[in-house]
Chain A
Amino acid sequence: MTRDEFLAEMQEVLQTDAELTADTVLADLDEWDSLSIMATMAFLDKHFGIKMKLADFRVLSTLGDIMDKAGL
């Protein structure tokens, strides 16, 4: 998966019309709530085999940070 493909997938995971980039700050998104975090965790597990905990997201600020975590 490329970084662009990742962003397109996240559009569906977060169910948002907002334009997503690597610089998008997660906390700035209305859709970034506990359920969206859970959905993101499931997404990372399914596609990258990465098992994250809720607390892990505290240190991730942007979508780029998540992509780094996924090794993209």
Chain B
Amino acid sequence: MISFTKDQKYIVTGASSGIGEGIALLLNELGATVIAMGRNEERLHDLKSKAHDPEAMFLEVKDLSKDIGTLPDYVKELREKYGKFSGMAYSAGVTAVAPVQVIDYEYAKRIFEINYFAPIMMTKGLLDRRNNVGKGASFVYLSSLDALVSTRGQTLYAGSKAALSATIKGMAREVAFRGIRMNSLLPSLIKTPMTTSAESEKYGAKEVVDEQHPFGWGRVEDVANFAVFLLSNKATFLSGQKYIVDSGGML
């Protein structure tokens, strides 16, 4: 059975909703200490009230899309507050519906800042030897199936997520000798506030689900279970991979 101890501390970003919330709750339920990070303080408090062990669910209100260059210093402050980390589940991100004719350079850069540079700079901070436990540490990133399979309108999103999983794979090689594992998950449509937004609906999300997903919309648990497994000591054989989580979409 997958279990964690209280001295295993994981940062979970995007924890105030969707997949991040699911990962934070499951990790906490299985015994880990969770530092739940999100922009919305009220929703983070809701998360804590839902936690199996609220004493081991710490809240950090943080907008990771701001002052991205200082994120390694922010991680250092967190380490001074909580101690060394056993890893991170990075789930913060934005969807970006922008067919080619409306791609705007500033907008494109912003998407990459949020979906790519922010996780990379958080990771730089956490991979610092002084900030993680070394052997046994594990990192999981929410990339997207869009990194591999195209969807109309999701070109920038796809690019940012493909870049993320490619860089994480490279970093996994750099830290493997320290016993640290890093993997990405590439889910297809998961029912979350992000993917059910009016904007996503408009571009035919429902149609895509019915045609290409024999097992229907993915649920948050479908991704959270996999993410928590990868963080756990049951996954010590696995690093540098990009795992597709797609409701049988490639059958």
Is A16 interfacial (CB 8 A cutoff)? yes
| A31/B129 in contact, CB under 8 A | yes
B61-102: which residues lie under 8 A (CB-CB) from chain A? none
Q: Do B174 and A35 have beta carbons less than 8 Å apart? A: yes
A15–B130 CB distance below 8 A: yes
Q: How far is the CA of A40 from the CA of B163 in the complex (A)?
A: 25
Per the bound structure, the CA–CA distance linking A16 and B129 in Å amounts to 7
Residues in A with CB closer than 8 Å to B130 are 15-17
The SS class assigned to the A binding surface is: loop
Closest to B129 in A: A15
Does chain B have a CB within 8 A of A33?
A: yes
State A31–B128 Cα separation when bound (angstroms).
Answer: 11
Interface size class of A (residues with CB under 8 A): under 10
B177 at interface, CB cutoff 8 A: yes
Using an 8 Å CB-CB cutoff, how does the interface string of A1-27 with B read, 1 for contact, 0 for none? 000000000000001110000000000
Complex formed: what's the CA distance from A45 to B119 in Å? 26
Which B125-142 residues have C-beta < 8 A from chain A?
A: 128-130
Task: Determine if B129 and A33 form an interchain contact, defined as CB atoms under 8 angstroms apart.
Answer: no
Distance of B75 from chain A, by nearest CB (Å): 12
Q: Give the Cβ gap from B154 to chain A, nearest Cβ, in Å.
A: 34
Contact: B174 with A15, CB < 8 Å?
no
Question: Min CB distance, B131 to chain A, in Å?
Answer: 8
Q: Nearest Cβ distance between residue A27 and chain B, in whole angstroms? A: 17
Complex: A55 Cα to B174 Cα, angstroms? 20
Closest approach, in angstroms, between the C-beta of A24 and any C-beta of chain B? 16
Most buried by B among A15, A17, A33: A15
Of residues 12 through 70 on chain A, the ones whose CB sits less than 8 Å from some CB of chain B are 15-17, 31, 33, 35
Contacts of B129 in A (CB 8 A): 15-16, 31
Most buried by A among B128, B130, B177: B130
**Within the complex, what minimum Cβ distance (angstroms) separates A9 from chain B?**
14
B128: contacting residue among A15, A33, A35, CB under 8 A: A15
- In Å, the complex CA distance between A30 and B71 comes to 26
Q: Which of A17, A33, A35 has the most CB of B within 10 A?
A: A35
Chain A residues with Cβ below 8 Å from B128 are 15
Look across to chain B and name the residue whose beta carbon is closest to the beta carbon of A17: B130
Q: Which residues of B contact A33 (CB under 8 A)?
A: 177
A15-B128, A15-B129, A16-B130 known, 7 other contacts, Cβ within 8 Å: A15-B130, A16-B129, A17-B130, A31-B129, A33-B177, A35-B174, A35-B177
Please give the residue numbers on chain B whose beta carbons come within 8 Å of chain A beta carbons, in ascending order.
128-130, 174, 177
10 A-B residue pairs with Cβ-Cβ distance under 8 Å, sorted by A, are A15-B128, A15-B129, A15-B130, A16-B129, A16-B130, A17-B130, A31-B129, A33-B177, A35-B174, A35-B177
What 4 A-B pairs are tightest by C-beta distance, nearest first? Answer: A15-B129, A15-B128, A35-B174, A15-B130
